[in-house]
Amino acid sequence: MESGDTKRKHYLNIENTPQSWLLTLDHKRIGILYLVTILLFFFLGGVAAVLFRLELLTPDAHLVEHETYNRLFTMHGVTMIFFFLIPSIPAVLGNFLLPIMIGARDMAFPRINLASWYVFTAGGLFGLAAIVFGGVDTGWTFYTPYSSTYANSNVILAALGIFIAGFASIMTGLNFIVTIHKMRAPGLTWFRLPLFIWGQYATAIIMILGTPVIAITVLLVGIERLFGVGIFDPAIGGDPLLFQHLFWFYSHPAVYIMILPGMGVISEVIACFSRKRIFGYHVVAFSSLAIAILGFFVWGHHMFVSSQSMYAGMIFSILSFLVAIPSAIKVFNWTATLYKGSISLDTPMLYALGFIGLFTIGGLTGLFLATMAINIHVHDTYFVVAHFHYVMVGGMLMAFLGGIHFWWPKMFGRMYPEAWGRFAAIVIFVGFNLTFFPQFILGYLGMPRRYHVYPEEFQVLNVMSTAGASILGAGYLMVFVYLVWSLFKGRRSVSNPWCAAGLEWRVSSPPPQHNFKKAPVVDRDAYDYTDEDVYKSDYDSGGTSDG
Amino acid sequence: MDIGIPLFPEQASDLARDVDMLFFFLIAVSMFFVFLIGALLIYFIVKFRRRSNADRPDATRSHAGLEIAWTVIPLILTMIMFVWGAVLFFKQSRPPSDAMEILVVGKQWMWKIQHPTGHTEINELHVPLGQPVKLNMTSEDVIHSFYVPAFRVKMDVLPGRYTTAWFTPNRTGRFHLFCAEYCGTEHSKMVGSVNVLTPVEYERWLAGEVGDTPADTPVEAGRRLFTQLGCATCHHPDAGALGPDLAGVFGSEVTLADGRTVVADEDYLRQSILDPRATLVDGYEPIMPTFRGLVNEQQLMQLISYIKSLGDAGETGEGM
Amino acid sequence: MAETETSHPDHLAHHFDSVEQQRESASFGMWLFIAQEIMFFGGLFLGYIVYRIKYPMAFATGSNLLSIEWGAFNTAVLIGSSLTMALAVRAAQTGNNRLIIRWILATMLLGSVFLGVKVVEYKDKYDHQLVAGPMFEFDADYVLEREAVPAVYADDIDVHDPQFGSNVHLFYSFYFVMTGMHALHMIIGIGVMIWLLVKAYRKRFGPDYYSPVEMTGLYWHFVDIVWIFLFPMLYLMGRH
């Protein structure tokens, strides 16, 4: 086997000095840098979650004080959203795969790509500093006037961190759009693109048009605190609701940054492990764009009880229902793809199936929140918490893990242990449901979110949730351990271990430094599993070393 | 059946029942789709697992009929949810005209409540059974949110403006009152309870047998402030008064100096007291000074209550 | 399209197939960057408009305290700098190195003049305690002396009302944040031009490689256009 030859030069072993990593312009290495960085933040956010879940075992404060509790859930929200989920699939898998999948040698702007990682890391350091110097207690939503005037914590540092990290997001989005438009291989027309690319494209639109709005918004909060220049200060006539409008104008679309790339991954995995083209390819592709565009016009559904006008509420409600339709269409199409497929339940497929189930629940509970009369009752309760964890963790994180397993052999040239993989996937699925399903009930019972102490009747459900969280944590830990183990001891992978269609499987594993010696010519649709070529495991087309 | 785990919240208002009906409809729709998708996934996985020798002729790539069906059916279902939810929301947003008005001021981290009779309470709210109650709310500092799960009622409480919420309790008992909008360190201690009493018990409570002794009613306190602050020197019904007569002004349409016509609601009155020139009534000189800083939120509410009470004295039927 | 590495000039990055593809990518990327800039300033403009409608009198008064002469002068300077920038791009396309340097220097000079005038204006606000923040102190007498209250509102406004002063403060919060952000963008633009000058001295630009100059030009025109919106919104609206 060619790929078993340790002498072969690829992107990982071509040079291994610190500066060859820190100054690399190779999109694959930048993807790996991002992977390492966001794992650190995932760990931090996870530790915070473990601590406050433990605290919530009992109705009274027994582990931490109010101040600490508030800092913990803020730290969890800020790190998980801004420093883990938003960059997770785009910046790691997107950076690594996007150029290869479209037959390009790199992103359109490799320097901007590297800069985005530095900017992200710098933003992350501000976030870390905010935590180290005592934390932030505003919640990840930074509502004014609490954040701008009343909070006595490191709001400025955290706001700056988010502001800076936002530019990393913009740079990544910009790179993706230009690369997809201008760098596709000959013959790779728009409707031959893998759906992963469509997902990244839709995400990039949101990154470019949404992120600057949150950037200016948190900057204004920072300026208000730092220089006393009040924009949201009610004392001089400022309107705290303006902040909410600006904040959700980004942060609702940002929810789609945290799901669209995941949907892309799921399309790839389902096609490969049922050996079929995704049912209704065009519809699935366009539904991503529909979500990205409609997603900009539904922010007001976060403000039904904020004293927003009833009529504005109605418009936001109906638009929120509309944005649910493309998501439903995707779920139906994925399910239909399995029909008459040839299905194997490898680890990535287990994650993909888990994704469909959990995302369906997350999406359907979104309808409850879009229904104004019910929203009044469940707004700012655990129902909302459960809903967005079903979408972001049950959806995006499952997709991220599925994608990591699917492309692990491509990224590192080693296979992860399959049995452990399946076991961990099931543990995570069970742990997840045990953690978050009780929270739907808690929410409808009326337990408000961000509560440190709570009435006694909520305890049993909280204990279940905490028990689930420990199982979930154990599952993640398991994945982490065997993946690291496999880096050194895993079986070496061939170029195309899954017999998958797609250009990324035509280059060797790990890919050579410049991906393709010669731009590949594409003459067929995506997911063409009727083609016999796909089943040949090694057929590098000029994918060997090009120095 | 009591398994020790609460699964469903108490219903203690008429609205709660309506909201729960809608909730059950959504649950039914959701269950249908979860089981449909789940059953299909499992069936396909078993039937078309790789080792099975199921019939796999050239599979269809797409099917326009199916795509239309699973676009249109969810669309129709969601539109039913929307209309139902919106109709109910309008009901939730519009208090009936015979509602008893209670003043609520939120501050870090307590609820200050004043009854029309003048009784003040902190973190406790006593209301009579079957009587619609309207809450006029504002905040002294950050954003809070007044939430009574058993009534399915929630409304944000903001600094610098008034919001309202209403409910008609239909069960006696003691129910949780929560602050639902994160408001700082002791957010989770900004809780209290709503006590629904029978009308007789409520009268007893008012009479002081239970609870604290009443102070002035908001209307009386407002009347006293009205005199103390000298409002009456300009706002009186005689000809030649420097300010408009306030009898019957609440709820009426007012033409402003800049030509706008506005309805004189609580927010308008509040702004007129705090920033008189911004809402100058047509035909009057801008001589009224601002009372910002001279009156606190509670006193503002009392003044407004007093002005509202004048509505009945003026033209009956006009006042709300 | 399929053939690669036939000729690979120095300025063609390894991952592009052709100079054409590289140039198109750069220009497309720049337009996307400008799109995000529009959203960035859009948030500020939206906030400004909301408050302007809410407090028309205080905002008009605050606006009248600004110097329309300096503002108009700066507008002219900035439009002039857009012209010199466009000429620099033209010079790069024709490969005239001497002209590139001359026009870029002219653009930098005009940009600096704009910033200089801004400093003078800020200084004036500082002298009258109109700088937003803790040192803001609303001086009703100064407002009356400058006759800043628009005549149509003169009867409705009590300049001694502290709330009115607060709302003027809000106007100045926006004034400093918006013009400050704009000035920051100009400073960044001038910084980029220094890099262009270095490249121009090394004779890097020519008919087949002028993207950096062109992209800087696009950026500079964008910054210019932001001012074209800022000037009427901050200085002109509600003048007497």
Sheet strand arrangement including B144-148: B124-128, B192-197, B173-179, B144-148, B153-157
Q: Which residue of C has its CA nearest to A244?
A: C47
CB B304 within 8 A of CB B246: no
Q: What is the pLDDT of residue A202?
A: 95
Question: Do the strands B120-122 and B144-148 form a parallel or antiparallel pair, or are they unpaired?
Answer: unpaired
Q: What is the C-alpha separation between C184 and A117, in angstroms, rounded?
A: 23
CB C111 within 8 A of CB C189: yes
Last-in-domain residue among B184, B206, B228 = B206
Query: What residue ranges in chain B does DSSP mark as E strands?
Result: 100-107, 110-114, 120-122, 124-128, 133-139, 144-148, 153-157, 163-167, 173-179, 192-197, 253-255, 261-263
Query: What residue ranges in A265-407 does DSSP mark as E strands?
Result: none
Q: What is the C-alpha separation between A34 and A37, in angstroms, rounded?
A: 5
Radius of gyration of chain A from its Cα atoms, rounded to whole angstroms: 23
Q: Give the count of beta carbons closer than 10 Å to the beta carbon of residue A237.
A: 21
Same domain, B169 and B224: no
Substitution target in B271, B272, B277, B285 with the highest count of C β-carbons within 10 Å is B277
Which of B23, B155, B163 lies at the smallest CB-CB distance from A374?
B23
pLDDT, tens digit, 9 for 90 and up, residues B223-271: 888 877 778 777 877 766 777 888 888 888 888 877 778 888 888 888 8
Q: What is the C-alpha separation between A53 and A71, in angstroms, rounded?
A: 13
A346 domain-assigned: yes
* CATH number of the domain within which A34 lies: 1.20.210.10
Cβ neighbourhood burial of B88 (10 Å; 0-12, 13-18, 19+):
buried
The interface residues of chain A toward chain B in range 136-155, judged by CB-CB distance below 8 A, are 137-139, 141, 143, 145-146, 149-151
CA–chain centroid gap for C43, Å, is 16
What is the distance in angstroms between the Cα of A207 and the nearest Cα belonging to chain C?
Answer: 9
Domain tally for chain A?
Answer: 1
Q: Decide if A220 touches C, using CB distance below 8 A.
A: yes
Secondary structure class of B136 (helix, strand, coil): strand
* CATH number of the domain within which B284 lies: 1.10.760.10
Q: What is the C-alpha separation between A443 and A446, in angstroms, rounded?
A: 5
Cβ distance C2 to A518 less than 8 Å, yes or no, reads yes
Q: Measured between beta carbons, which residues in chain C are less than 8 angstroms from residue A99?
A: 15
Q: What is the pLDDT of residue B204?
A: 86
pLDDT at residue C224 is higher than 80: yes
Same domain, B38 and B117: no
Angle at A76 between CA A62 and CA A54, to 5 degrees: 25
Q: Measured between beta carbons, which residues in chain C are less than 8 angstroms from residue A235?
A: 166
Same domain, B164 and B76: no
Per-residue pLDDT 10s for chain A (547 aa) are: 344 445 688 898 888 888 999 999 999 999 999 999 999 999 999 999 999 999 999 998 888 988 899 999 999 999 999 999 999 999 999 999 999 999 999 999 999 999 999 999 999 999 999 999 989 999 999 998 898 888 888 899 999 999 999 999 999 999 999 999 999 999 999 999 999 999 999 999 999 999 999 999 999 998 888 888 878 888 888 888 889 998 998 889 988 999 999 999 999 999 999 988 999 999 999 999 999 999 999 999 999 998 888 899 999 999 999 999 999 999 999 999 998 888 999 999 999 999 999 999 999 999 999 999 999 999 999 999 999 999 999 999 999 999 999 999 999 999 999 999 999 999 999 999 999 999 999 999 999 999 999 999 999 999 999 999 999 999 999 999 999 999 999 999 988 999 898 899 989 889 998 898 888 888 888 888 877 666 654 444 444 433 3
Q: Give the count of beta carbons closer than 10 Å to the beta carbon of residue B186.
A: 17
Q: Which domain holds residue A270?
A: 26-529
B212 domain-assigned: no
Cβ distance C54 to A186 less than 8 Å, yes or no, reads no
pLDDT, tens digit, 9 for 90 and up, residues B98-126: 999 999 999 998 999 998 888 888 899 99
pLDDT at residue B215 is higher than 80: no
Q: Give the count of beta carbons closer than 10 Å to the beta carbon of residue C88.
A: 30
**Helix or strand holding residue C49 (H, E):** helix C19-54
The interface residues of chain B toward chain A in range 14-33, judged by CB-CB distance below 8 A, are 18-19, 22-23, 26, 29-30, 33
Residue with tokens 């728009």: A190
Same domain, B128 and B189: yes
The interface residues of chain A toward chain B in range 470-529, judged by CB-CB distance below 8 A, are none
Q: What is the C-alpha separation between C171 and C52, in angstroms, rounded?
A: 8
Residues in chain B: 320
The interface residues of chain B toward chain A in range 48-77, judged by CB-CB distance below 8 A, are 48-50, 54-63, 66-67, 70-71, 74-75
Task: Note the CATH architecture for domain C19-236.
Answer: Up-down Bundle (1.20)
Q: Decide if A340 touches B, using CB distance below 8 A.
A: yes
Q: What is the pLDDT of residue B318?
A: 34
Cβ distance A186 to C2 less than 8 Å, yes or no, reads yes
Peptide bond before residue B169 is cis, with ω within 30 degrees of 0: no
Residue B100 phi, psi (nearest 5): -80, 135
pLDDT, tens digit, 9 for 90 and up, residues B157-183: 998 889 999 999 999 999 999 999 999
Q: What is the pLDDT of residue C240?
A: 56
B290 domain-assigned: yes
Interface of C with A (CB under 8 A): 1-2, 4, 13-17, 21, 24-25, 28-29, 32-33, 35-37, 39-44, 46-47, 50-51, 54-55, 58, 132-134, 163, 166-167, 169-170, 173-174, 176-177
* CA distance to A525, C72, C228, per residue, from C75 (Å): 54, 5, 7
Q: What is the pLDDT of residue A537?
A: 47
Secondary structure class of B24 (helix, strand, coil): helix
Q: Measured between beta carbons, which residues in chain A are less than 8 angstroms from residue B167?
A: none
Q: Decide if B260 touches C, using CB distance below 8 A.
A: no
Same domain, B228 and B176: no
The interface residues of chain B toward chain A in range 172-231, judged by CB-CB distance below 8 A, are 176, 178-189
pLDDT at residue B50 is higher than 90: no
B5 domain-assigned: no
User: Smallest Cα–Cα separation from A545: which of A12, A99, A113, A183?
Assistant: A12
CB A434 within 8 A of CB A393: no
Q: What is the C-alpha separation between B300 and B294, in angstroms, rounded?
A: 10
Q: What is the C-alpha separation between B111 and A130, in angstroms, rounded?
A: 32
Name C114's Cβ contacts closer than 8 Å, sequence gap at least 6: C74, C77, C78, C81, C186
Q: What is the C-alpha separation between B158 and B166, in angstroms, rounded?
A: 17
User: Smallest Cα–Cα separation from A179: which of A110, A107, A111, A92?
Assistant: A107
pLDDT at residue B19 is higher than 90: yes
CA dihedral (A18, A22, A26, A30) positive or negative? positive
* Domain definitions of chain C by residue range: 19-236
Type of residue at C45: F
Q: Measured between beta carbons, which residues in chain C are less than 8 angstroms from residue B280?
A: 156
Q: What is the pLDDT of residue B319?
A: 33
Name C125's Cβ contacts closer than 8 Å, sequence gap at least 6: C131, C172
With cut-offs at 50, 70 and 90, classify the pLDDT of residue B314: very low
Tell me the mean pLDDT in the region C211-225: 94
With cut-offs at 50, 70 and 90, classify the pLDDT of residue B53: confident
Sheet strand arrangement including B120-122: B120-122, B110-114, B100-107, B133-139, B163-167
User: Most confidently modeled of A235-249, B76-90, C58-72?
Assistant: B76-90
Interface of C with B (CB under 8 A): 57, 155-158, 161-164
Cβ neighbourhood burial of C139 (10 Å; 0-12, 13-18, 19+):
middle
Cβ distance A177 to C32 less than 8 Å, yes or no, reads yes
A439 domain-assigned: yes
Domain tally for chain B?
Answer: 3
pLDDT at residue C156 is higher than 80: no
CA dihedral (B239, B241, B242, B246) positive or negative? negative
Size of interface B-C (CB pairs under 8 A): 29
Q: Which domain holds residue B299?
A: 218-313
